[in-house]
Amino acid sequence: MSSQSGITASQSLLDSFKQFTLSNRRFFGMRIVGESIEAVNEFDSVGSDCGRSLSHDFDSLHTRLSDTDPMYLVVRRSDVSNGAAYIFISYVPDAARVHDKMIYAASKNTILRNLGSQRFQPILFINSANELSGEGWRQSEISERAAERPLTEAERSLEKMRRDEAVLTGTRKQRLARNEARGVSFAVDAGLKRALDEITAGRNVDGGEGGESGECGSGFLVTALIDGEELKLAAQTTFADIRRNLIKALKSDEPSYNVVLWNGRYFFIYCCPSGSKVRDRMKYAANRLAFSKSIEQTGVELKVIEVGDPDEIEMSVFEAEDMEVKQDELRERGGKVGGLKFAKPRGPRRR
């Protein structure tokens, strides 16, 4: 995710990092706590004097890493590479929660800027604690050294085979990533699926037919909220007057996805009220397109409306849709559309 999260490094973290640079400690850990990035001291004693090899210190480190909790890690190099004395690692395990993965990805560039990105070489993304073991690091060093000397013919052939395999594997991963990006990152619960099936089929929340809602002036609303790792049904609402009832029915204290059926037309309303938590903003913003596309795949045409607070919605949008519906109905009945009808002027009276 390229967008910024709004989360920043705390002053205490910056002070702690400065102390780290003046020490001989090997590792400096950081975690996102609330709306800021804070230093953690659980790795201070690991490789505390940098007297042993880096691979040995990684062996001590990886047993302390969580399989579910992401973190940022700064590693003091045994040498200086291109003026950089540290390695920056964004450790986000595969088993981490979806919103944690998103928030750490979105905040990485911020913490690099705050600490000084020129200090770090390389900048790594790691998703398994095993990759931070001593053996994993030794294999990495062997690969780097092998690249520095000329290869034999047999080694060149083997290297080409490895590159070709990596290209094929990378292509498969990219294809899987694109397919995943098309879908919502959260599981959709059964209640929400049922409500969406009903509204996209033109049925109201009570299970009755809503296909003639344009004539009777009824509207239907389905509201969805992200709850933990699931996208859940929050409310189903029927209303007779969209101008008076819609805004009252929308959530004003947290972001929400809303699907509206009004006069035979469908609307997707994404609300993100002022004061919403940063994490909530990111989760909803990242999934809104996939959610609306999944509804359109059922065959309905959605008009997308994105607002902050519910009262920012321009109700004239729905009135314009009402006019289009009435004009379409008039055309179907063979009538003329647009303008008032005037009587033919009468001539002067005869004397």
Which CATH number is 112's domain given?
A: 3.40.20.10
171 and 202 together in one domain: no
117 and 253 together in one domain: no
* Segment 43-58, tens digit of pLDDT: 776 655 555 677 778 8
Q: Does 89 map to a domain?
A: yes
Q: Does 291 map to a domain?
A: yes
* Segment 303-313, tens digit of pLDDT: 999 988 898 88
Of 82-86, 128-132, 206-210, the poorest mean pLDDT is in 206-210
217 and 307 together in one domain: yes
Q: Does 341 map to a domain?
A: no
Token output for 21: 């640079």
* Dihedral-angle region of residue 224 (phi above 0 means left; psi in -120 to 50 means alpha; beta otherwise): beta
Q: Does 145 map to a domain?
A: yes
145 and 206 together in one domain: no
Q: Does 221 map to a domain?
A: yes
Q: Does 58 map to a domain?
A: yes
- Domain count along the chain: 3
Note the residue count of the chain: 351
18 and 141 together in one domain: yes
Model pTM? 0.46
- Say if residues 146 and 158 touch (Cβ distance below 8 Å): no
Q: Which domain holds residue 160?
A: 153-181
Report the C-alpha gap between 167 and 222 in whole angstroms: 44
Q: Does 337 map to a domain?
A: no
Mean pLDDT of 65-78: 89
142 and 176 together in one domain: no
